Amino acid sequence: MTEDEFAAYQSLSGETEDHRWAFGTGFTDPLEGIDTSVPDSVDAQALATYCLMLGDDALVYSHRLQQWMTRMPELEEETALANIALDLLGQARMLLARAGRAEGALLTGGNGPDEDELAYFRDEHEFRNVRLVEALDADFAELAGRLLVFSAWRLALFARLAESADPVLAAIAAKGVKELTYHRDYAAQWVIRLGDGTPLSHGKMQAALGTIWPLVDELFEADPVTAALPGVAADPAGLRGEVGAVLDAVFAAATLDRPGGAPMARVAGKSGRDGVHTEAFGYLLAELQSVARAHPGATW
Amino acid sequence: MTRAGDSWASAGEADLDAARAVAGAVPDPELPVVTVADLGILRDVAAEDGRLVVTITPTYSGCPALREIAHDLQYRLSQAGFAEVIVRTALAPAWSSDWITAEGRRKLRAAGLAPPNRAPKGPVPLTLGDRRGPVLCPRCGSGDTRQTAAFGGTACKALFRCEACREPFEYVKEI
């Protein structure tokens, strides 16, 4: 049997789905063979929601970064961004799968929803991502600024989660730390190059930070899900000092000012973590989900 | 573990050694000059309830090569006569480029790829300059090299150029 015949046989026999692409059929399980039982001391429902929060941040931001493909100023930047988006998509897949399994632990004899069901078949209000990741960047400066803030924050968060009492979340975070270190360095170098560049690039970089800044405060807000997971989740407020110091160091090297201005208002007391999103998010989700919803269960 | 024309009970350790040799020889789909064993992706080959269980770990969270590797392991082991093969993923401890063997580093260099420097340990502070130290040109050995892009054609590589021999080359990133 040749390798191609072997692949065809496996696909037809359903033994593996390695050589099929599909929505909603679980073509590969990113947590296959990993013990995903939830430790007794951990609130499974809260853990499922927490993993959704972190997974949605990565899924939505990865999609936004993918929309930059073919629009980057140089091929090297195109490659860099594709790699960063792929790392985040990988993190999203594992976190959504972890959320589904933790959810399944509450049911009897079920695995819970898989990563595809969570990514493609939830509605806007069911997504738990922060609002920072939703907007389409107006220009390259905004891309660099948003990526710097996002990766500096997520790196600080994952460094803490590497010690989480949930071993699966700890493993995903420990892996992510290595990737996010590269993302943060990449973004920092661009923010410095633009900020400390020409008067035009400096002006655009400073303006971009002003656009992003109202969404930064939300990253450090307390939420009830995190509060219900002592030893498992990381307190967002505890990240503020470390992330602020990193951003200030970059801004100083870039001759940029840390923006002021009020945080974006919550809506009836709710924000991204509660499922309340900005206008841009609906359009993003429509694009992300339309094929899967038009052809549910399709394989090719 | 069943093997065509043989039984696990009588074959024993010899079979497991054979399985290790077959699994270890599978080339990496993205870096075919090295094997999954050279890269430290192959973590374990064991017998479990009569089945062969092969454990691999991803290099990067989104690495699309992982399912190709799993497929290649299934294929080669089945061709070698192992009827029931399970491929498992281990996430912890996270893969480090320090796990690339001396043999793997030699093969990378011979193929014109610079092997990774030592990976940083513990929390990584923000570095606005160079933190990795000199990367040696795999062609002429010069340390006078410059990074031209932090990310390359795959997640695991960066692009460099040698200022001495003027040749571009890829560097396997340290993580």
Q: What is the pLDDT of residue A165?
A: 96
The parent domain of residue B141 ranges over 113-122+133-172
Contacts of B46 (CB under 8 A, 6+ apart): B16, B52, B53, B55
B75 vs A3: CB contact, 8 Å cut-off?
Answer: yes
- At B157, the amino acid letter reads K
A14 pLDDT exceeds 60? no
Residues B77 and B117 in one domain: no
Nearest to A176 by CA among A57, A32, A45: A57
CA-to-CA dists, residue A122 to A23, A42, A85, A125, A282, angstroms: 14, 25, 21, 8, 12
Nearest to A92 by CA among A131, A120, A123: A120
Residues B73 and B117 in one domain: no
A79 vs B151: CB contact, 8 Å cut-off?
Answer: yes
CATH number at residue B34: 3.30.300.130
Residue B77 falls inside a structural domain: yes
Total structural domains within chain B: 2
Domain boundaries, chain A: 42-294
CB B67 within 8 A of CB A97: no
Residue B103 falls inside a structural domain: no
Residue B143 falls inside a structural domain: yes
pLDDT tens figures, A19-73: 444 443 344 678 877 888 898 899 999 999 999 999 999 999 999 999 999 999 8
For residues A113 and B38, give the distance between their C-alpha atoms in angstroms, rounded to a whole number: 37
CATH topology of domain A42-294: Ferritin (1.20.1260)
Residue B42 falls inside a structural domain: yes
Residue B155 falls inside a structural domain: yes
DSSP states along A15-46: S--TT--BSSS-SS-TTTTS--PPPTTS-HHH
Give the CA count within 13 Å in the CB-facing half-sphere of B78.
Answer: 18
Residue B33 falls inside a structural domain: yes
Q: What is the pLDDT of residue A237?
A: 97
Q: What is the pLDDT of residue A25?
A: 39
A176 vs B124: CB contact, 8 Å cut-off?
Answer: no
Give backbone dihedrals phi and psi of B35, rounded to 5 degrees, phi first. -95, 170
The A residues from 64 to 123 touching B (CB cutoff 8 Å) are 76, 79-80, 82-84, 86-91, 93-94
For residue B105 the two structure tokens come to 């580093």
pLDDT tens figures, B131-140: 678 999 999 9
Distance from the A259 Cα atom to the nearest Cα atom in chain B, whole angstroms: 21
Regions of chain B with pLDDT less than 50: 5-7, 9-10
Distance from the A15 Cα atom to the nearest Cα atom in chain B, whole angstroms: 11
Residues B28 and B80 in one domain: yes
B55 vs A33: CB contact, 8 Å cut-off?
Answer: yes
Residues B145 and B78 in one domain: no
Residue B68 falls inside a structural domain: yes
Residues B141 and B75 in one domain: no
Residues B17 and B60 in one domain: yes
What pTM did the predictor assign?
A: 0.90
Q: What is the pLDDT of residue A300?
A: 65
Q: Does A165 touch chain B (CB under 8 A)?
A: no
Break chain A down into helix, strand, coil percent, rounded to 5: 65, 0, 35
Residues B152 and B118 in one domain: yes
ipTM, interface predicted TM-score of the complex? 0.87
